[in-house]
Amino acid sequence: MSRTQSKRRHKPAPSVSQKRSLKEVLTSDNAKFLTLSGFFVLLFLTGGSSRPDMAALIVLRPISILVLGYGLITLTASQMRQYWPVFALVIAMIALAIVQLVPLPPSIWHNLPGHSVFAQIDSILGLQDLWRPWTLDPAGTRNALMSLAVPLAVLVLGAQLGRDHQIRLLSVILALGALSVVFATLQLAGDPHGPLYLYRITNDGAAVGLFANRNHQAVFLSSLIPLLFVWARNTGRSTGSHGRDSHHHAGSLHIVIASAGAAILMLLSLVTGSRAGLMTLLISVLATGALISFIPPARSSSSAKKQSQLRRFAPLGVGILALVGFGVLTAVMGRNLALDRLLGSDPGADARADFTPQTFDLALNNLPWGTGLGSFERVYRMAEPDSLLNPAYANHAHNDFVEILLTTGLFGIVIASGFAVLLLWRLRILTRQGLANHILQIASLISLGLLTLASFVDYPIRTPALAGFCTLLLVWVFSDAQAVKRPNHPGKEFG
C-alpha cells in the first residue's frame, strides 16, 4: 500500500460540530443579509422592465424561486406573525391567481359577465362543452403568478433581518440608486441608442438609468430622498461612539453626503422628462422636509431647544428653495423635459388619458369577477375604439388601480382596500409612539406613498425591481427597528 493511499484511508471525516457550524453559517443573519443584498443587485440589473418577454426573466425567475426556498427554510412563525399584513397581501394575490387558472365548466364560464361574445363564438364553432379557466388570458395570468416569486422572496428574507441588517440593507438600496444615477448621467452624455440602455424597448435618449421607462426611474429616485436622510441619521449616530468630536464629525459628514445626494436625485429626476416623476419629486421634498422638521430634538436643555428651532425647520425651506432653483436651472438649460411635457402637449400621454376611461368602462362590464391577472393587453384590444387606434399598443392601463379593477374585479379592490386600512392603522401606531423612534418606518411610508401615487398614472410596481423595492418598504413599515439613540451632547443634527 502506498503512502498516498494510506493518507487517503486515514483522513478524518468531518466532525458533527463542523457540520453543525456549516449549517449555522448558511442560516446566519449575515448569510441572509448577503443573499438578499445580492438578490437586489440582480433585481436592479435585470428587472427594470415590466415586459413579460424580456430575456432576463430566464435568469431572474429561477433565482427568485431559489432565494424564496432558502428563505422559507429559515422562516419562523414569530416572524410571520410580526409581518402578517404583508404576508396576507402576497398570499392573497397568489391565491387569487391560482383560482383564476382553475378550469370552470362551460355552463358557469359562459355566464360570467363579459363572456357573452365568447359564448356566441363557441356556439358557432361547436365548442360549447370546452372547459376554460376563469381568466381570459391564461398565459398572462401564469406570468403574473410567477412574477409574485420576487416580492415573496424579498418578504421571507427581509422579515428575518434585525435592525442593524435592515439599516445595512438601506445602504445597499441607496448604492443601487447611485448606480442608476451614474447610468442615467452616462446615457445623457452618450449615444441615445447605445449599449448603456439595458432594454430593447425603452425611452431612447432619456435618463432611464437601470430601468426601461423614464417614469419608473424618476419615481424611484424621488422615493430615495426620504430614505437618504434616514441613512444619514442612523449611520451618523452609529459611527460616532468613540467620543464627542468623532461623533460630531461623523454626523456632519453623513448629513453633507445626504444633502449632496438629495440634490443629485432632484436634478436627475427633473431631467428625466417624467411628469409623474415631477409630481412625486415635489411631494417627496415636502414630505421629507416636514419629517425632518417635526422630529423632536435629541437635546433636552432649554437653551439647546431654542437654538434648534430654526435648524429644525430649515430643511423644509431649503428643500423647497433647492427644488425651485433646480427647476429654474434645468428650464434655462433646456433640459427640463418634464416641464415641457407638462406645459405642452404629449400625444402619448394624451392617448393614455383617453384609454383609461375606456378601461374603467370595460372593468365595469366584467364585474365582479374580472378578466384575470395579466390579461389587460389582450382584453383591451377587443374593446379599443377605432378613434384610439395607432401604431403603438397599450400594454397597461397606465392606472394600476383601474387595471386591478379590470383584471381582479372586486376581489382585488377588497384586498387593496383592506391593506390600505392596515397601513393607516400602522401609521397611527407609529405616530403615537413618537416619530423620533420610528424614522425608518415613517420614511418607508412616504416612499411607499410616492409609488402608490405614481401608480395612478403609470405602473411602476409591475417591474420586478420596484416590486421587490416596494416589498422591502412594507417590511420596513411593519418592522420594530428603532432609530439609533444619540448621546446627550451638542452636535449637528437635522432632526
| Cα separation, 101 vs 149, whole angstroms | 17
**Residues 31/117, Cβ–Cβ less than 8 Å:** no
- pLDDT in the model for residue 273: 80
Of the candidates 338, 352, 358, 345, which has an alpha carbon nearest to the alpha carbon of residue 459? 352
| Residue position matching grid coordinates 383592506 | 418
pLDDT of residue 307: 44
Longest Cα–Cα distance in the chain: 89
How many whole angstroms separate alpha carbon 71 and alpha carbon 283?
A: 35
CB 35 within 8 A of CB 26: no
- Listed in sequence order, the residues at least 6 apart from 82 whose beta carbon sits closer than 8 Å to its beta carbon are 159, 478, 479, 480
Q: Are 455 and 461 in contact (CB under 8 A)?
A: yes
pLDDT of residue 337: 55
- Strand partners of residue 446: none
DSSP letters spanning 336-380 = -HHHHHHHS--HHHHHHHHHHHHHHHHHHHTTTT-S-TT-HHHHH
3-state SS of 179-208? HHHHHHHHHHHCCCCCCCCCCCCCCCCCCC
How many beta carbons lie within 10 A of that of residue 55, not counting itself?
11
Q: Which residues of the chain have pLDDT under 50?
A: 239-243, 298-304, 306-307, 309-310, 313, 332-333, 338, 482-495
In 10 A of CB 387, how many CB atoms?
A: 8
